[in-house]
Structure 1
Amino acid sequence: MTVPTTINPDDFLETPEGRIWTVERNEEAWRLSYAALERTLELAPASMRVVVVCGIQGAGKSTWIASQPASPFTIYFDAALPGVRHRAKIISIAQRLGASVEAVWIDTPLDVAIERNAARTPDKVVPPPRDRRRRTAV
């Protein structure tokens, strides 16, 4: 591993037609993300660190990760992860496999995050929570 690895569940929603979100695909994306974290840590040197990057959609998590200096010993987990229960499985996997864990919260005003989210391509716009169950494709 020579560059930082980023694991983002949204990446597992990508198709040749763009990102497609359903409840079932989202659950599978998270399962694949956890498996990718385990697989990466199992193959990595003992001195790995996992940085859990949290914040609301459109906060700038991916942009912040891209601005970090390259390190062959860092895995970034990029997702909203608003509560302790959302981060627990990532932390558990990392600790079980001997990695140190840090969390970074990207604090962005809600109006700025909403504006950024709206500026995304249609397949990458994150719908408000009440609309998610109905969304099958964009």
Structure 2
Amino acid sequence: MEPVQVINPDLFLETEAGRVWTPERSKRAWADSFEALEQSLSDADKSSTRLLIVCGLQGAGKSQWIRDYAKDYAPCVCFDAALPGARHRKPILDMANKHGLETLAVWIDTPIEIAKQRNLTRQLYKRVPDESIESVARLFEPPQRNEGFSEVIRIVATM
């Protein structure tokens, strides 16, 4: 197992022509990401591997944080997605509990205007509509330890 594994539903939307989103492809991408997570957790060394659920607005800097800092938590599996509510995080926590893995939340807390600005710097096919970022911001519930996390790490992002 790699020291840091990353599972991101967006990666399952990639095609040779770039990222293609449709409701059907999105549903399949999430199913594929849960399947990949199940496999990674099943293969993990239960005595040392941790699951990091890295959540926040689109454009918050989740993937960048994983590239820069996840190695400090290795060996780990990182689930990289907005996951705005406890109900969105619950299936992932349930899977980790089934496999007996410690799970940490890493909340990248970024103001919506900064997230939107960062989104504009992405390649065109990776940009998220502002309406989607605004929707996640309205729905966002900060992760809490009582959801089942051993720790909640809040990263307050600035430009």
The question of a shared fold, defined as TM-score above 0.5 by the shorter chain, is answered with: yes
Shift of 1:74: 0.3
Residue 61 of structure 1 aligns with which residue? 62
Instruction: Determine whether 1:43 maps to 2:43.
Output: yes
Query: Given residue 107 of structure 2, which amino acid in structure 1 is its aligned partner?
Result: W
1:1-138 equivalence runs, <5 A: 1-47=1-47, 48-68=49-69, 70=71, 72-127=74-129, 128-129=131-132
Residue 134 of structure 1 aligns with which residue? none
2: distance between equivalents of 1:72 and 1:121? 29
* Residues 94/10 of structure 1: CA separation in 2 closer, same or farther (3 Å cut): same
2: distance between equivalents of 1:16 and 1:75? 26
Query: Given residue 17 of structure 1, which amino acid in structure 2 is its aligned partner?
Result: A
Q: Per-residue CA shift, 1:84-124, capped at 9, x if unaligned? A: 00101110111101111110110111111001111211110
Shift of 1:72: 4.6
SS at match of 2:83: coil
2: distance between equivalents of 1:9 and 1:69? 18
2: distance between equivalents of 1:69 and 1:21? 27
CA RMSD of aligned residues (A): 1.4
Residue 135 of structure 1 aligns with which residue? none
2: distance between equivalents of 1:3 and 1:101? 16
Q: Per-residue CA shift, 1:18-66, capped at 9, x if unaligned? A: 0000011001100011110100111111122100001000000001111
SS at match of 1:106: strand
2: distance between equivalents of 1:72 and 1:41? 14
Q: Mean Cα displacement is larger for which, 11-20 or 61-70?
A: 61-70
- TM-score with structure 1 setting the length: 0.89
* Residues 39/113 of structure 1: CA separation in 2 closer, same or farther (3 Å cut): same
SS at match of 2:69: coil
SS at match of 2:109: coil
Structure 1 residue ranges (4+ consecutive) displaced by more than 6 angstroms after TM superposition: none
Instruction: List runs of 5+ in structure 1 lacking aligned partners.
Output: 131-138
